[in-house]
Amino acid sequence: MANMEKVVGRVLAKRRRRAGLTQEALAEACELHTTYISQLERGLKSPTLRVLFRIAAAVGVSAAALVRAIERELQR
């Protein structure tokens, strides 16, 4: 199994870009620090459920859809 944090980071970055957001814009929308978003996307940190829900809302998907995308990536 791939490193979960790295996979989560790849999925978050992909969804952010698909939504047309910069890391700064996503951080602002989620009321988080840009550095934290960067750390998430690089797989250095793991998001809490609260953060996962905030990010999902900011990129325009449900938290369930975000988790499903992560699960699909982990199964590759």
**Is residue 36 within 8 Å of residue 26, measured between CB atoms?**
no
How many CB atoms lie under 10 A from the CB of residue 7? 20
Number of domains in the chain: 1
CATH no. for residue 60?
1.10.260.40
The one-letter amino acid code at 42 reads: R
**Range(s) of the domain holding residue 52:** 4-75
**Is residue 75 within 8 Å of residue 3, measured between CB atoms?**
no
d(CA 71, CA 63): 12
- Tens of each residue's pLDDT in the chain, 76 residues: 569 999 999 999 999 999 999 999 999 999 999 999 999 999 999 999 999 999 999 999 999 999 999 999 999 8
